[in-house]
Amino acid sequence: MKILVGIKRVIDYNVQVHVKADGSGVETDGVKMSSNPFDEIAVEQAIRLKEAGVAHEIVVVSIGEAEAQEQLRSALAMGADRALLVHTAQAVQPLLAAKILAAVVKREHADLVLLGKQAIDDDACQTPQMLAALLDWPQATFASSIQVGDGRAEVIREVDAGLETLSVALPAVLSTDLRLNEPRFIKIPQIMKAKSKPLQIVEFAELGIADTPSLRVLKTEAPAGRQAGIKVESVAELVGALKERGLL
Ligand SMILES: Cc1cc2nc3c(=O)[nH]c(=O)nc-3n(C[C@H](O)[C@H](O)[C@H](O)COP(=O)(O)OP(=O)(O)OC[C@H]3O[C@@H](n4cnc5c(N)ncnc54)[C@H](O)[C@@H]3O)c2cc1C
C-alpha cells in the first residue's frame, strides 16, 4: 500500500503571531516556520503503518514556496520514503490545495491519504473533506485511532457525545487528530540520511489546474486583549463570583 501524506508549512505553534499594521495578514518575515502539528501526526501514523508491514511506501507532499522543502526533509528524516513539492508562490486556499492533492494522488496511485484535521494557520478544516469529495473516496476525519487491514480502515473519531467508530473501504482520505499518536523525535543520523532521499519539485503550472479563488480575505484583526482575572481565596468565593456573573 502506498500512503500519501500532506504537509503544510505554517508559523510554528510556539510563536506569538502578530497582525500586520495594514490588516492584510500576519507577519511571516523572520518568523519560525514548522510543519503543521497535525501533519506530523499523519506522518507518524504512516510510518507506524509501514513498520507494521501494512504500507510499503510513504510519499509526503507539500504545496507552496521552495522553503517548504525544509518541512519535507523533516518528514523524510522521520521515516517517509519520498517527497514532492508542488511549487507555487501564490496563496493556496483549501479548495485549490484539495485540487492539487487530488492531481498528485492520481499521479501517484496512492491507496490511502493521511492529512491533518486542520492547519493551525487558517484553521479552515476543509482540505481533507474536499479532497475526498473530488476523488469520490470515503473519508473519516479527526481520527484518534486508525487500524488498517483487509482493504478497509477502521477509524475511531471524537464526536460531541463520545467516540464514533467508522469502517471505510480503501482507497480513502483520513484526517488526524491530536490524540492519534505522538510524533517521534528525529535523531541527527536520520537528518543526514534524509538529505539523500528523493525530493521532486513539480511546478504548479504543470498540473494544468485553474486557480479561481473562492475566498477573499477582507481584513485580519488581532483578537481583543483578555480582561484581567481576579484571585479568589476560597471555593465558596469562586462559586459566589460565578453565580454573580450568571455562569452558575
Ligand atoms: C496544534 C494544536 C492543536 C490543538 N487542538 C486542540 C483541539 O483540537 N481541542 C482542544 O480543546 N484544544 C486544542 N489545542 C489546545 C488549545 O488550543 C489550547 O489549550 C487553548 O487554546 C489554550 O487557551 P488559553 O488561551 O486559555 O491558553 P493559556 O492562557 O495558556 O491557558 C492554559 C490553561 O491555563 C489555565 N489558566 C490560564 N490562565 C488562567 C487564570 N487566569 N486562572 C485560572 N486558570 C488559568 C486554564 O486552565 C487554561 O485553559 C491545540 C493546541 C495546539 C498547539
**Which residues have C-beta atoms less than 6 Å from ligand 1?**
13, 37, 120, 178, 229
Percent of the chain as helix, strand, coil, to the nearest 5: 30, 30, 40
C-alpha 32/C-alpha 34 separation (Å) is 7
Rama region for 108: left / alpha / beta (φ>0; ψ in -120 to 50; rest)? alpha
Give the Å distance between the CA of 199 and the centre of ligand 1. 36
Give the Å distance between the CA of 175 and the centre of ligand 1. 22
Quick one: which atom of ligand 1 is closest to the CA of 177? 8
Answer whether 160's CB lies under 8 Å from 201's CB: no
A 10 A CB-CB count for 202 gives 18
Give the Å distance between the CA of 218 and the centre of ligand 1. 28
Nearest C-alpha neighbor of 171 from the set 103, 113, 89: 113
pLDDT in tens, 183-233: 999 999 999 999 999 999 999 999 999 888 889 989 999 988 888 988 999
Which amino acid is residue 193, in one-letter code? K
Answer whether 80's CB lies under 8 Å from 110's CB: no
Q: Radius of gyration (Cα) for the chain, nearest Å?
A: 21
Nearest C-alpha neighbor of 39 from the set 78, 67, 66: 78
Compare 160 and 199 and report the one with higher pLDDT: 199
Q: Is the dihedral of CA 59, 64, 69, 73 positive or negative?
A: negative
pLDDT in tens, 49-73: 999 999 999 999 999 999 999 999 9
Give the Å distance between the CA of 226 and the centre of ligand 1. 13
Give the Å distance between the CA of 178 and the centre of ligand 1. 14
Q: Is the pLDDT of residue 48 over 90?
A: yes
Mutate to test the pocket of ligand 1, among 36, 178, 231 (most ligand atoms within 8 A of CB): 178
* Residue 80, helix vs strand vs coil: coil
Instruction: Report residue 79 as a C-alpha cell.
Output: 521515516
Average pLDDT, the chain: 95
pLDDT in tens, 4-46: 999 999 999 999 999 999 998 999 999 999 999 999 999 999 9
pTM, 2 dp? 0.82
